[in-house]
Structure 1
Amino acid sequence: MSTETSVGPDISLVWQESIQIERAASPSRQRSTMTDLLGSLFPRPRVATITTGEGPSRGAAPRTSLDDTLPAEGFRLRADASGIEVRYADARGLRYALATLDQLRAHPDFTTSVVDIEDHPDFAVRGYMLDVSRDRVPTRATLLRYLDLAERARLNHFELYIEHTFAYEGHDLVWQDASPFTVADLRWFDAECVARGIDFVPSVNCLGHMERWLKHPAYKDRSETPDGYVWGFENRAAATLEPTRENADFTLGLLLEIAETTSSGKINIGADEPFELGQGASADAVAERGRGEVYFEYVRHLLERLTERGYQVEFWADIFAEHPELMGRVPQGAVPVVWQYDGPVLSAAVIDGADDELRAKWEAIAFDVEATRQGARGRAAALIESGEPFWLAPGTSTWQSFVGRTDNAVDNLVDVARTGLDTGARGYVNTQWGDHGSLEPPVVSFGPLLLGGAVSWCLDSNADLDLATLVDTVALLDRTGRIGRATVEAGGAAHALGSPLLNASQLFTVLWRAGEIPPGSWPTPSGVAAARAKLETARALLVGAEPEAADGELAVSELDHAIRFALLAADVLDLGHGALAELDPETALRLRDRLDVLLAEQRTLWLRRSRPGGLDDAVGKLVPLRRLLERRAVLA
């Protein structure tokens, strides 16, 4: 029987009818071998027709030709008895066509199939941003692991987020303990990116998130608030530069120094979250001219100096998007990037369930509740309405979690892709941040990385990809299917708590804050039990997992360790709000000893993927918890 299969926005009625007939005739055959051939492709193609028949020989060389009628990075691949023909739009189109051909050749049905595939991307820019400053600085081998996954996901843009982990000339004080990347490191990384058809883009900061610099007396006078500031009722260390021309030129020098390490001619200057802007040195200017004007005068100076040198420049749009009066003033060659890290399902749940304490905190920091409820579309509202070109940035939902937040990751990645298609955004940059130490192992990010790449290539074909299957078949090569399921089960524990939280999981925050999380976000006993069941199921699944990837054994160890960290958090949550401060000595001693084992293992596992700089800072995030447990334990 001939089976025609199409995937994408134009689902073939012929395929639908054929499958329906086949299932009626033979209920035991739920998938044809032709569908298996198509299903073996990653990402799934936009349009594919596969028919039984005589195909090419397995070693047939393709005939290739340039076709300028195809969309950018697109290709057309035809394989039948006469051979293999590839038409491509450009160099990347040819790269993706040949990669698809390699996947087809690896399937046993290739030589008995007639294949016709047409494919091109939804987004011109499909990227990934890896935080290499807080506090995990990857080894070269780990960077290659990420790059290989990025290549499989057809990403063409890779950012390394750097605050203090680059060996800036003359600024040894800032980076000397961080195991920083050198010029040679980044030029090596750039070459590896080029070899995979990917642009390397340094992602740095020029205004906020400068605390690693401003903590040193030599740089303290550059701060907006040298003695720190209050944000959301919390005291924080100085983190934002005063928006002066002198500081702008200072950071311009840093930007130009790191920009010389890449051949892409692209850089992300950050400029996000200058929380204390207007609270200190710039208070009078902000009162007189407005926060948006003061902010953008500083940022625009940097954008102009870089774009006039020929660089393509990104900047985060969280402040820019709050000020409609700034629309239309972005220099040619620069683009604002709108980030949104929580999906609409979680965002609505948090907003609808917020208590008075949380709402008061939101009001204190001018948090835009309604924009957040609307997801990426709400964040980008001013840009959409004005016609300002922009990109979008979702996230992996891995940071502040130990084991990830898979439900939110999928919702967020798909929602941002849909918003981008609906609004004409040209870029989609998936982000893996490292808030509060990057204590999460790299393996928990592999699935979201792959899914983000697939939905930014073609959302309609890839939105329903199974995350566990991606981990098993693309990332870790586990034929048992156990490690993929374990990743998803563990990542589902945050949702199972039943106490929704933005940008984090209580399975992390209760340990990082040594039990001091608001009563309103403390899960119920039944929620903790549900999360624990997810974690225990995940840990049981790891027994018998057989990942054949080179780092498969390490991935199992990492994930098991992360799950045990989350289980420790579940036990602390089970004690109830405020209970740590009154803990009996025996329980405190038991929890302290468990924490010590986990911290020792963290050091060992960290060094298998990452450089030593930053390790002490990362494990130091849990020192307040250990001190509390130690104080209670010594009462024994």
Structure 2
Amino acid sequence: MYLIPEPKILTIKEGFYYLPYCGTIEIAPSCSQKAYGFAKLLREDITGELGFSYGIVKGNKKGTINISVREALGSEHYLLKVGEEGVYIQGGDGNGLLYGIQTLRQILRQEGACIPCLCMEDYPVLPNRGFFHDVTRGRVPTLEWLKKLADTLSFYKMNQMQLYIEHSFLFPEFSEMWRDDTPLCAQDIMELDAYCMERGIELIPSLSTFGHLYKLLNTKRYKHLCELTDAGEEPFSFIDRMAHHTIDISNEESFSLVKQMIAEYMPLFSSGKFNICADETFDLGKGKNKDRALQEGVDVLYMEYVEKLCGFLVENGRIPMLWGDVMLDFPEFANRLPEGTVCLNWGYAYNQTEDSTRIYAGNGVRQYVCPGVAGWNQLLNLQRNSYENISRMCGYAMKYKAEGMLNTDWGDFGHINHPAFSIPGLIYGAAASWNGSLPSYEDMNKAVSFLEYGDSSGTLLNIAGRLGEQECFGWGNAVYWKEKGSKTDVSKKKEVLTEVVERVKTIPEKNREIDMCVQELTGCTKFMDSTMRKRIYPYLLVAEGMKLFNRIGGIVVSADAEGRVTEDVFQAAEELEKWYYQYKLLWYTVSRESELYRIGEVVFWYADYLRDLKGLQEEESYVVYR
């Protein structure tokens, strides 16, 4: 039996409790009204998984499943006992009850109505366990999918969620910013907030307010507020969108504008926290504030602005949160921020060091560690990188007494990866932040394969992890070559191609491994419940995309370095366009239109690029990397 996170104390006893086909879930009178919503989740599973008929009652009589509060246990702490006479769940508070119920749901998913007698006690080592999802730089998910994400978070005992917003919220007075997008609206946020609360999740607002304001600072109305003077003059670029567009902090209109956005967005959430982001302010002091930066220092400029924003939040009864990358250069200034401000200390390398966590701890900074699911700029997430990164960061959180973990899922370069590919990393984060450590990569994947995907062979995620490692010319490489390498600048071409020229030599080997992974993933369907088999399809689709882009990488290197092409470029272009059609259909199953067209622009550019190479094609001997 697999349980995620693994419980601290679990004793399996002799015997079983056989759930009757008709029974009751009894809530003790001391429980709050929230307990009824949690009990409904359990009843829905009993009905959905088993077809049994269960009612929910309140009282002190003996039910089939009995739920009660025992405050002595402490926050989020629970006990679960299964004996031959029934099931008993005690929670130290409402969330403790919820987590006991979620554990019972995991057991029912595997054991059905025949539950082994057991005694379990569990509690988290980190009080704040969150997931941060980018809904602005490419994908704006459907509300239905966001609710499913909340369900998954709750199932694995996470208690916070943030949605990253730059321009993808419908601020009524900022239509020029979101007019070509499909933004979330106030009703979406309020409905999701209520849905999250019912599942023990705090939905925390996250709004870009300093750097990363590409669309706001490219509008005709507000481009004068950009630190750099040429805002809005360059054509769109995925790379430049990430690198520029910091607000002019010396212009009082900037603060008034951002304050207006915060004031409009903040009331939609029940949370008492607000993330102002304030990360990667690359251009600060390089344009309109250059003289001030030289005289006073960039650190002073940065702190001046974030202090004002944090002060505004405190005035409105909110706890400020902000990313810690910029302030890491002057951590001693953190004590100038309002008391209680949370520093979100991010680091995404698979071999991430403890330096930033140690530095902030040494300066008395309240912090969450923030690892990532390693999906950005990838067709398929790098699962092993994610596992290593999350495991390390949660270990540092324990060592330096951080207050929480916020696991991140960014959407750089259009959020090309299907959101479902981030679920394994999400679950790694849930388990690591609950226990402070993880089982081995292989064992963790076996458990997730079985519990989340219904794969009784336990092999699905280890195969998917191998698949994600087979890119030679990935989406990030494709974007860089289109936007930088394909230009006439010889030094830029060399810079871009140097990274991939050795890797493309392994294309035949990599693409054969992709074919092997596809065969093995398809074979997993034999071991999966019929309701779960459809979750294999996105992996198979993306595997084909990886092969195509690997082939394109080989063509790019061959054409640029050797002045010849040994592939049928027309065929490659047609295969790419047909693949993109299927990719679009998958996109619409979980996402609004949002910025799909920007991904299409990259795909179509490559299709045209391939056809333009016809003159270099050696027609007598095609070499096809399949």
Superposition TM-score, scaled by structure 1 size: 0.81
Write the deviation string for residues 1-33 of structure 1: whole angstroms up to 9, x where unpaired.
xxxxxxxxxxxxxxxxxxxxxxxxxxxxxxxxx
4+ residue runs over 6 A deviation: 234-237
Q: Does 1:51 align with 2:13?
A: yes
Q: Which residue of 1 aligns with 2:249?
A: 243
Contact 1:401 1:440 in 2 (8 A): yes
Percent identity of paired positions between Structure 1 and Structure 2: 25
Contact 2:12 2:119 in 1 (8 A): yes
Contact 2:68 2:97 in 1 (8 A): no
CA distance in 2 between partners of 1:507 and 1:469 (Å): 27
Q: Does 1:260 align with 2:267?
A: yes
Q: Does 1:377 align with 2:354?
A: yes
The one-letter code sitting in structure 2 at the alignment partner of 1:329 is R
From 552, 559, 562, the counterpart of 1:579: 559
SS of residue in 1 equivalent to 2:222: helix
Q: Does 1:606 align with 2:587?
A: yes
CA drift at 1:424? 0.6
Q: Does 1:542 align with 2:521?
A: yes
Write the deviation string for residues 452-472 of structure 1: whole angstroms up to 9, x where unpaired.
111111134656564543553
CA drift at 1:565? 1.4
Change (3 A) 1:522 1:483: same
SS of residue in 1 equivalent to 2:215: helix
Change (3 A) 1:122 1:588: same
Residues 30-179 of structure 1 mapped to structure 2, 5 A cutoff:
39-53=1-15, 61-81=64-84, 83-105=86-108, 108=111, 113-179=116-182
Q: Which residue of 1 aligns with 2:37?
A: none
Contact 1:446 1:471 in 2 (8 A): no
CA drift at 1:343? 1.5
Contact 1:124 1:426 in 2 (8 A): yes
Write the deviation string for residues 67-91 of structure 1: whole angstroms up to 9, x where unpaired.
3332421112222245444332110
Write the deviation string for residues 493-525 of structure 1: whole angstroms up to 9, x where unpaired.
25xx6xxxxxxxx42223223373241454345
CA drift at 1:138? 0.8
CA distance in 2 between partners of 1:461 and 1:486 (Å): 19
Q: Which residue of 2 aligns with 1:287?
A: 294
Gaps of 5+ in 2: 24-62, 486-495, 618-626
SS of residue in 1 equivalent to 2:335: coil
Q: Which residue of 2 aligns with 1:507?
A: 474
Q: Which residue of 2 aligns with 1:372?
A: none
CA distance in 1 between partners of 2:111 and 2:281 (Å): 55
SS of residue in 2 equivalent to 1:493: coil
Change (3 A) 1:468 1:108: closer
For the aligned residues, what is the CA RMSD? Answer: 2.8
Superposition TM-score, scaled by structure 2 size: 0.82
The one-letter code sitting in structure 1 at the alignment partner of 2:378 is S
CA drift at 1:109? 9.1
The one-letter code sitting in structure 1 at the alignment partner of 2:283 is E
Q: Which residue of 2 aligns with 1:411?
A: 388
Q: Does 1:187 align with 2:190?
A: yes
Residues 345-360 of structure 1 mapped to structure 2, 5 A cutoff:
none
Q: Which residue of 2 aligns with 1:436?
A: 413
Q: Which residue of 1 aligns with 2:599?
A: 618
CA distance in 2 between partners of 1:618 and 1:326 (Å): 41
The one-letter code sitting in structure 1 at the alignment partner of 2:594 is G
Change (3 A) 1:105 1:235: closer
CA distance in 2 between partners of 1:631 and 1:558 (Å): 31
Q: Does 1:560 align with 2:544?
A: no
Q: Does 1:591 align with 2:598?
A: no
Q: Which residue of 2 aligns with 1:359?
A: none
CA drift at 1:400? 0.8
Write the deviation string for residues 297-319 of structure 1: whole angstroms up to 9, x where unpaired.
10111111102211122110100
Contact 2:387 2:441 in 1 (8 A): no
Write the deviation string for residues 370-424 of structure 1: whole angstroms up to 9, x where unpaired.
xxxxx25123342122121111111110111101111211101111111111111
Q: Which residue of 2 aligns with 1:304?
A: 311
CA distance in 1 between partners of 2:136 and 2:379 (Å): 18
SS of residue in 1 equivalent to 2:369: strand
CA drift at 1:617? 1.9
Change (3 A) 1:533 1:122: farther
Indicate the larger mover: 512-521 or 247-256. Answer: 512-521
Contact 2:79 2:91 in 1 (8 A): yes
Change (3 A) 1:440 1:104: closer
CA drift at 1:42? 2.3
